[in-house]
Amino acid sequence: MNSPSNVAYQVMWNRLISIVEEQAQALVRTAFSTSVREAGDLSAGVYDARGRMLAQAVTGTPGHVNAMADSVAHFIRRIGRETMAQGDVYLTNDPWEGTGHLHDITMVTPSFHNGTLVGFFACTAHVVDIGGRGFGADANSVYEEGLYLPIMRFADKGEVDQTLLRIVRGNVREPDQLVGDLYALATCNEIGHRRLIEMINEFNLPDLTGIAEFIFDNSRRATLERIAALPRTTASGEMTVDGFAAPITMRVALTIEENRILTDFTGTSGLDPKGINCPLVYAKAYACYALKCAIAPEIPNNAASLEPFEVYAPENTIVNALHPAPVALRHIVGHFVPDTVYDALDKILPDVVPAEGAGCLCNFQISLRPLDTAPQGAKRAEVLTFNSGGAGARPQVDGLNATAFPSGVMTMPVEATEHAGPVIIWRKELRPGSGGVGRQRGGLGQYMEVGAREGYEFDISAMLDRVDHPARGRRGGGNGAPTTIARDDGTPMQGKGRQSVPPGTRVRMAFPGGAGYGLPAERDKAAIMRDLAKGYISERSALDDYSVSAEDIEKVKDAIRAGEDI
Amino acid sequence: MTKQEARLGVDIGGTFTDVVLEVDGESFSTKVLTTYAAPENAIIDGMHQVCTKAGLTPPAITQIIHGTTLATNALIERRGAKTALITTEGFRDVIEMRTESRFEQYDLNLQLPEPLLPRQMRYTVPGRIDATGGELVPLTAADIEPVVEAIAVAGYTSVAIGLLHSYLNPAHECLVRDVLAKRLPDVMISLSHEVSPQMREYERFNTVVANAYIKPLMKSYLGRLEGRLREEGVGCSIFLMHSGGGIISIESAADFPVRLVESGPAGGAVFAAHIAARYGLDKVLSFDMGGTTAKICLIQNQTPKTSRVFEVARSYRFKKGSGMPISIPVIDMVEIGAGGGSLAHVDAMRQIRVGPESAGSEPGPACYGRGGARPAVTDADLVLGKLDGDNFAGGSIKLDVKAANDAMLATLGTPLGLDATTAAFGLAEVVDENMANAARVHAVENGEDLSEYTMIAFGGAAPLHAARLCEKLGINRLLVPPGAGVGSAIGFLRAPFSFEATRSVYMTLAGFDGPAVTTLLAELKSEATAFVRTCAPDAEIIAEYKVYMRYKGQGWEIPVTLTAQQAQNPDPAAFEALFEADYTRLFGRAVAGMDIEITVWSVNATTPPQPVARVQQDSGSSIAEINSTCSVFDAALGSTVEAKNYHRNKIVSGATISGPATITEDETTIIVPASRVAVRQPDGCIDITTRETDE
């Protein structure tokens, strides 16, 4: 039989990418957790029979990139290839063999064609609750963080394991939602499998070997070309952030060799006693992501394109936490990896990387309990929200306002959040003045204010950083504004950890701004006037930071009164 | 004898206004330049032209169906009214913060599109509705008055009102409207719960802002149009094509102009679906290229794909998420700023860029000789020999080759050191590549392989570019139907009269209320049917029942179709079985033990589809008669070649043409490149396929 042409392989590669996109879309459409269906905290991928990742959907979660790539190999080892059968679905939430914390459920489905195992589909989703203490930083070990599901069968030849479902139902706060999400995960792999078999039939393929080699050869070659074009040198970078018990310093040494880039985290702080530690696989994903953005943005993720990015961290540094370290909020450290890597990369490739930004997502989870005054039938509820501060300014353009970087998840619509539980979001809007000044301005952070409906009290589990360590400006740019959090009666609160809020009280938060890039004196005057008209900067800042004349400020005010754009 | 049927289809595009009159199965069409300042003038002009051709007078017209891209273009080119938004305190920046995510994850220099209204034009009022529709914080007239005063001082002409949870309880939005209307009776007002009664504030607010932004423009236009038609003695009803492929009254269109946003393209998709049915084609890519934009739509099994949300004005290589979301029922397609009038320039990296800025019809491309100085796609087509300057639009517009050459040299040639032909080749290749990429992305997003597709090309500029697109996309068959230059307008006349009545009522199957369901569906049916009755008093009307269902706790519903019997005698067990069957078909397996919820109820009343006669396809039985020879640039060969020229109306059924060739007709020119051959089919379609290579 003739092997398919390069053009046919090109079509198949594109098709595989579109299959995983459809797989991810099916998960969004069928999921129950708002983190999945509204925010897109999920990933989906297709693998060859050896467990090597062929394609991955571009979703909101660069943190899943390498974790997903490695995960299927663990499933093959634990389940045993010879015991796999059509209709099987496997799952785990092992932080070290999945994607970094118990709240991520990974499901893997073997794909059989004419009785032969031809590949796998895997997907991961962040569920709102997995039992234990609830999503937050407070655990002292992974045992307190929730129900642990080792790699095991969810469905055996099509039969869903009812014992597993009973155990799951008995251990979590929102059992219907979690069980629904488990089905959604199985469903999305099934969709991928169907499309894959259609493609195999259409191109009359015996298996995926040919297309796998085509994908890997082209991806590897393209990635190595990019690396070979870089100066062969070493640079180091570091950044300090709040942490929980004590500030964390992340250190990185970046070494560019002919055919690989080594990221070495030696010198990074040790473990935190609380749940913000990060398994290596998750830190590695963000190091890779940061480097790919700067060096090879258009090369799709797969086993070969990720291979040249090597990451090392000594055991039990905060970026290589081992079992049983608590890891629920591993995203906080993970999301700061790119800014740390860029501190080093800026010394090798100037004028490419942005100034520091908000970094980690500004998330919080609300646990609501009915009071005696609650209406009949009132229930407890868990509400999780994802939010973003400002991104760092770029060498040529301003930082993005209230936009996630490096994470790519979406925020949940306020209306969807308020349907998820008896919570009220009283404010969610831009935070003027929070972007670092500079030739390019840092992105604005945002304000949020939350409370419970009448008849409920709540705890808030805060997952905020940059309270004491705002984003640092680059090349003369100013720092972004730091995070603040307090009750509306003025009582200060902590950036991290579960804190109870008295009935009738709200929590006010201001999420951090991104840092500026370059000297503010070099900023374009028209851009300053626009910032002032939109209220991104105050009159004071226009006068003091950017030397705008009082006359120009009056001009801007007149334009606003007259409803004219500027 | 019954009165003669004389139906007029009118499509206003960015450059041309297309008018088609069908009288008892016979069709008369014309294209006139869109008259931006008063678009109705072009319609009146075109109407007279086709009436003369048909030998009747305007009072004899029995029905007018109109669609327009005026609304879309106003959004893409940001030419709307001076508009303000009034929203809930604490949520001023919803339309600016979008989803807080980046639509392209790996671009460090990504820029997000600016919101339609900058921050200083967005005002807030207190008051708050909760997620059950209850009032958390009251809102009073006194709260609203200061905002209204600021709006009065600034002189805004249109105001969008978008408050949280208004789709459940519109009381606060209505109060804001009342206070505003009392103080400023002339200001136009759009309410989010009326324009798009759906949960998710970003999409709803953006949709109401878009509606407000284009409302003054559209309302005044539709009013003038109706007046002018009445002055001409036209007494019949006037209907508007909407984005979902159906038809609404002129009054609804003036109130909800955002529903017209894709009306022209929707007509085009209906037109292409009709051709697909004639040829029995199940996989069709419709390619509609006019003066300002190009539209690409997948048509499977002779039905255009539909969606409940779409994006207008995608700003970043056509990527999902880079435009503005508009949540209304719509035919799903990609639209990009690439048309005959799209203007070219050289960017900082010395690359040729084309569009989305358009020369429109005034001044138009340089070759129109109306003062346009920058080269447009049409100028490139003229310089490359693809257009015949003496016979453009039936000779009604004389194209100036020298002006096109000069513009090509001044803007592209001189800065880049190219002659006029090479500059024109570069311009055409850039715009063709842009369109091919958009088609690829759309196909990939839908998991489709375009090489199995047949392209159906229409719209004034499409036949000039379609074959090159097929070469780039690996598509082997291209159909250019007759009337290709006025496809959307013909499509308007093929669309059934239909109206979809929907209501948001949340009901779980555990709490199923059979009698209430019967009543609700009967009400929706009579509402929808009554509307269709006003359009087609004597026609048979079919009611299609649909409910949107999901497991309670999910965020997205799937549509489940009911029979009339199931709608009249609703049984929750039957609903559950239907839902689980559809869910299993879509997603592989049902979820055990979960309550099921219905969120949206809908009844679509429609007249039956028009019967379609299959074409007896001809594979070629004679050689077409040559008109002349000409020089035309063949992009795949990269050089100018001698080509044969044909007149379309002189090619007989079954005649074959071998590329390179140009086929001229009144409205456009079809290019058959060297790589392709063409056959004229019995229904007048030009059927262009890849030349079989000699083995």
- Is residue A320 a part of any domain in this protein? no
CB < 8 Å to B150, chain A: 561
B59 and B140 assigned to the same domain: no
Of A400, A414, A534, the CB nearest to B164: A414
Q: A449–B451: do the CB atoms touch at under 8 Å?
A: no
- Is residue A554 a part of any domain in this protein? no
Calpha distance B142→B175 (Å, rounded): 11
- Is residue A388 a part of any domain in this protein? yes
Range of the domain at B592: 498-530+537-597
SS3 B325: strand
B155 and B96 assigned to the same domain: yes
- Is residue A551 a part of any domain in this protein? no
Q: Residue A20 class from Cβ within 10 Å (0-12 exposed, 13-18 middle, 19+ buried)?
A: buried
Of B91, B105, B121, the CB nearest to A563: B121
- Is residue B644 a part of any domain in this protein? no
* pLDDT reported for residue A1: 40
- Is residue B291 a part of any domain in this protein? no
- Is residue B227 a part of any domain in this protein? yes
> B386: closest CA among B411, B363, B404?
B404
Q: What is the mean pLDDT of residues B497-504?
A: 77
Calpha distance B393→B30 (Å, rounded): 9
CB within 8 Å of chain A, chain B residues 459-498 = 474
B314 versus B224: the higher-pLDDT residue is B224
Q: Any alpha helices (H) in B77-170, and if so which ranges?
A: 94-97, 141-154
CA of A387 vs chain B CAs: smallest distance (Å): 7
Compute the count of residue pairs across chains A and B with CB atoms less than 8 Å apart.
193
* pLDDT reported for residue A465: 97
Torsion angle, alpha carbons of A305, A307, A309, A310, to 10: 170
- Is residue B204 a part of any domain in this protein? yes
> B91: closest CA among A448, A530, A417?
A448
**CATH number, residue B164:** 3.40.1360
Residue of A nearest to B97 (CA): A402
B184 and B230 assigned to the same domain: no
Place of tokens 């997907």: A123
Residue B349: pLDDT band by 50, 70, 90 thresholds? very low
Looking at B384, B399, B429, which one is the last position of a domain? Answer: B429
B93 interfaces chain A, CB cutoff of 8 Å: yes
Range of the domain at A485: 354-523
- Percent of chain B surpassing pLDDT 70: 97
Decide: B461 and B342 in contact? Cβ < 8 Å.
no
∠ at Cα A519 (A517, A520), nearest 5°?
95
CB < 8 Å to A352, chain B: 108
- Is residue A139 a part of any domain in this protein? yes
Decide: B502 and B277 in contact? Cβ < 8 Å.
no
* pLDDT reported for residue A5: 63
Question: Which tokens in the block code for residue B113?
Answer: 């599109």
Calpha distance B238→B251 (Å, rounded): 10
Of A17, A176, A533, the CB nearest to B120: A533
Looking at A189, A220, A251, which one is the last position of a domain? Answer: A220
B34 and B98 assigned to the same domain: no
CB within 8 Å of chain B, chain A residues 373-412 = 386-388, 394, 396-397, 400-405, 408-411
- Is residue B628 a part of any domain in this protein? no
Residue A556: pLDDT band by 50, 70, 90 thresholds? very high
Contact residues for A77 (Cβ-Cβ < 8 A; gap 6+): none
Other C-beta atoms within 10 Å of A160: how many? 18
Q: Range with the lowest mean pLDDT among B218-227, B444-453, B553-562?
A: B444-453
Residue A3: pLDDT band by 50, 70, 90 thresholds? low
Q: Range with the lowest mean pLDDT among A199-213, B128-142, B317-331?
A: B317-331
CB < 8 Å to B131, chain A: 415, 418-419
Decide: A180 and B554 in contact? Cβ < 8 Å.
yes
B88 and B203 assigned to the same domain: yes
Calpha distance A72→A97 (Å, rounded): 9
Residue B225: pLDDT band by 50, 70, 90 thresholds? very high
The answer on pLDDT for B259 being more than 50 is yes
Calpha distance B176→B162 (Å, rounded): 10
> B151: closest CA among B174, B112, B116, B177?
B177
B409 and B510 assigned to the same domain: no
Residue A513: pLDDT band by 50, 70, 90 thresholds? very high
Q: A562–B118: do the CB atoms touch at under 8 Å?
A: no
CB within 8 Å of chain B, chain A residues 22-61 = 22, 26, 28-32, 34, 37-38, 40, 58, 60
B137 and B154 assigned to the same domain: yes
Q: What is the mean pLDDT of residues B391-404?
A: 83
Looking at B597, B620, B640, which one is the last position of a domain? Answer: B597
B418 and B370 assigned to the same domain: yes
pLDDT one-digit tens code per residue, B438-491: 787 677 666 677 888 999 999 889 999 999 999 988 899 999 998 877 888 999
Decide: B489 and B270 in contact? Cβ < 8 Å.
no
CB within 8 Å of chain B, chain A residues 2-21 = 7, 11, 14-15, 17-19, 21
Calpha distance B596→B510 (Å, rounded): 8
B193 interfaces chain A, CB cutoff of 8 Å: no
How many whole angstroms from its chain centre is CA B487?
Answer: 12
Other C-beta atoms within 10 Å of B674: how many? 17
CB < 8 Å to A194, chain B: 588
- Is residue A242 a part of any domain in this protein? no
- Is residue B33 a part of any domain in this protein? yes
Q: A14–B82: do the CB atoms touch at under 8 Å?
A: no
B56 and B85 assigned to the same domain: no
Q: Residue B26 class from Cβ within 10 Å (0-12 exposed, 13-18 middle, 19+ buried)?
A: exposed
Q: Residue B439 class from Cβ within 10 Å (0-12 exposed, 13-18 middle, 19+ buried)?
A: buried
Calpha distance A423→A369 (Å, rounded): 11
Of B82, B101, B131, the CB nearest to A415: B131
> What's the mean pLDDT when you consider all of chain B?
89
B188 and B108 assigned to the same domain: yes
* pLDDT reported for residue B317: 58
Number of domains making up chain A? 2
Calpha distance A339→A353 (Å, rounded): 9
pLDDT one-digit tens code per residue, A328-384: 999 999 999 999 999 999 999 999 999 999 999 999 999 999 999 888 888 899 899
How many whole angstroms from its chain centre is CA B18?
Answer: 15
The answer on pLDDT for B303 being more than 80 is yes
Looking at A205, A220, A235, which one is the last position of a domain? Answer: A220
Residue of A nearest to B440 (CA): A14
Question: Which tokens in the block code for residue B29?
Answer: 């069409």
A555 interfaces chain B, CB cutoff of 8 Å: no
Decide: A320 and A269 in contact? Cβ < 8 Å.
no
Calpha distance A39→A290 (Å, rounded): 21
CB within 8 Å of chain B, chain A residues 439-478 = 446, 449, 453
CA distances from A510 to A135, A446, B348 (A): 21, 6, 39
Other C-beta atoms within 10 Å of B592: how many? 11
| Phi, psi for residue B262 in degrees, rounded to 5 | -115, 30
B85 interfaces chain A, CB cutoff of 8 Å: no
Give, to the nearest 10 degrees, the angle between helix A6-30 and helix B420-445. 50
* pLDDT reported for residue B61: 96
B198 and B145 assigned to the same domain: yes
Question: Which tokens in the block code for residue A400?
Answer: 């993005």
* pLDDT reported for residue A8: 67
Residue B1: pLDDT band by 50, 70, 90 thresholds? very low
DSSP one-letter code for B409: I
CA of A89 vs chain B CAs: smallest distance (Å): 13
B133 and B233 assigned to the same domain: no
Looking at B157, B178, B213, which one is the last position of a domain? Answer: B213
A560 interfaces chain B, CB cutoff of 8 Å: yes
Residue B695: pLDDT band by 50, 70, 90 thresholds? very low
CA of B372 vs chain A CAs: smallest distance (Å): 28
- Is residue A15 a part of any domain in this protein? yes
* pLDDT reported for residue B446: 66
> B39: closest CA among B181, B210, B223, B187?
B223
Place of tokens 């048909």: B54
CA of B657 vs chain A CAs: smallest distance (Å): 29
- Is residue B639 a part of any domain in this protein? no
Q: Any alpha helices (H) in A312-359, and if so which ranges?
A: 330-348
E strand segments, B74-165: 83-88, 122-125, 128-129, 135-137, 158-162
Number of domains making up chain B? 4
Q: What share of chain B is helix, strand, coil (3-state, %, to 5)?
A: 35, 30, 35
pLDDT one-digit tens code per residue, B527-537: 889 877 877 78
Other C-beta atoms within 10 Å of A321: how many? 30
Other C-beta atoms within 10 Å of B73: how many? 25
- Is residue A541 a part of any domain in this protein? no
> CA torsion sign, B232 to B235 to B236 to B238?
positive
The answer on pLDDT for B10 being more than 90 is yes
- Is residue B347 a part of any domain in this protein? yes
∠ at Cα A30 (A26, A35), nearest 5°?
100
pLDDT one-digit tens code per residue, A268-284: 999 999 999 999 999 99
B341 versus A40: the higher-pLDDT residue is B341
* pLDDT reported for residue B84: 98
SS3 A486: strand
- Percent of chain B surpassing pLDDT 90: 59
Q: Is the ipTM of this complex over 0.95?
A: no
Q: B90–A449: do the CB atoms touch at under 8 Å?
A: yes
